């Protein structure tokens, strides 16, 4: 899809900011701020490092993943990517935008469990969504772009393996000056998931050429 086509379809979002508060973590000391999408009521969170970046800030758009982020599931790489993002941004400066309401690439938690069941029966992550009659990726980044603008950020280094995010952000008025890899060591439990993202969703995943992490 061309950038102009995305721009025509991407709705403008309005966000309401909450207070900025200190958030000390095992990855460093951050400032956290809640943002509410005025149209949908969905609440998001920015986690920002006090470190002044040398160039454009490093930004991770992290889609909520209860199984990976909270329960450390090995079916995906989400939880480990979140930890990687917090560590890198703590060192280099920048922001993690934790985007809620995007479970399962936007299909919701219950449908994600249904998709998992289909994957256990042989479908890949794309086929499972299609068999459920759901979009392969239903995420909307208009609120993320609105949050970045409200924070005074117009150009970023994007921490992601997904080039489509860069194209979408550009259509929403956020310049991506560099794509920074968000690869983490893969596991046998998420090998097929990552191979499908690489082969069918154009994610940049050179890590699959290395040796998988063994489960302890």
Task: Catalogue the active-site residues.
Answer: 137, 139
Q: How far apart are CA 196 and CA 49, in angstroms?
A: 33
The reply to whether 60 sits in an annotated binding site is yes
The answer to whether 67 is a known ligand-binding residue is no
- Asked if residue 168 belongs to a known ligand binding site, the reply is no
Q: In what order do the strands lie in the sheet with 155-159?
A: 15-25, 28-37, 43-48, 94-99, 58-63, 155-159, 175-180
| Residue 203 is assigned to a ligand binding site | no
What is the Cα 211 distance to its own chain's centre?
Answer: 24
Q: Which two tokens stand for residue 71?
A: 């329960």
Q: Is 81 annotated as a binding residue?
A: yes
Q: Is 40 annotated as a binding residue?
A: no
Give the integer Cα–Cα distance in Å for 205 and 162: 9
Query: How many Cβ atoms sit within 10 Å of the Cβ of residue 206?
Result: 10
Question: How are beta strands 43-48 and 58-63 bridged, if at all?
Answer: unpaired
The answer to whether the annotation marks 104 as part of a ligand binding site is yes
205 is in an annotated binding site: no
Tell whether 94 is in a known binding site.
no
Known binding residue 9? Answer is no
Is 192 annotated to bind a ligand? Reply is no
73 is an annotated ligand-binding site residue: no
**C-alpha closest to that of 97 among 138, 38, 156, 56:** 156
36 annotated to a ligand binding site: no
d(CA 189, CA 76): 8
Residue 20: CB atoms within 10 Å: 13
- Cα 88 to Cα 157: distance, rounded to the nearest angstrom: 12
Residues within the annotated binding site for Zn(2+)? 65, 76, 78
Residues within the annotated binding site for GTP? 60-64, 81, 103-105, 125, 160, 165
Residues within the annotated binding site? 60-65, 76, 78, 81, 103-105, 125, 160, 165
């Amino acid at each position: 899809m061309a950038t102009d086509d995305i721009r025509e379809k991407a709705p403008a979002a309005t966000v309401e900011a909450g207070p900025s508060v200190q958030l000390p973590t095992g990855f460093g000391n951050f400032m956290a701020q809640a943002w509410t999408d005025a149209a949908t009521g969905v609440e998001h969170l920015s986690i920002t490092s006090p470190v002044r970046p040398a160039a454009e800030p490093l930004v991770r758009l992290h889609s909520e993943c209860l199984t990976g982020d909270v329960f450390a599931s090995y079916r995906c790489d989400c939880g480990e990517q979140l930890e990687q993002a917090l560590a890198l941004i703590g060192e280099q400066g920048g922001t993690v935008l934790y985007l809620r309401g995007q479970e399962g690439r936007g299909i919701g938690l219950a449908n994600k469990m249904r998709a998992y069941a289909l994957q256990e029966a042989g479908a890949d992550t794309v086929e499972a969504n299609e068999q459920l009659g759901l979009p392969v990726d239903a995420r909307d980044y208009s609120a993320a772009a609105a949050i970045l603008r409200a924070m005074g950020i117009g150009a970023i280094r994007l921490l992601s393996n997904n080039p489509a995010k860069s194209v979408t952000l550009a259509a929403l008025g956020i310049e991506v000056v560099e794509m920074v890899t968000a690869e983490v060591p893969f596991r046998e439990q998420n090998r097929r998931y990552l191979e499908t993202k690489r082969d069918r969703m154009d994610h940049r995943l050179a890590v699959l050429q290395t040796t998988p992490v063994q489960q302890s």
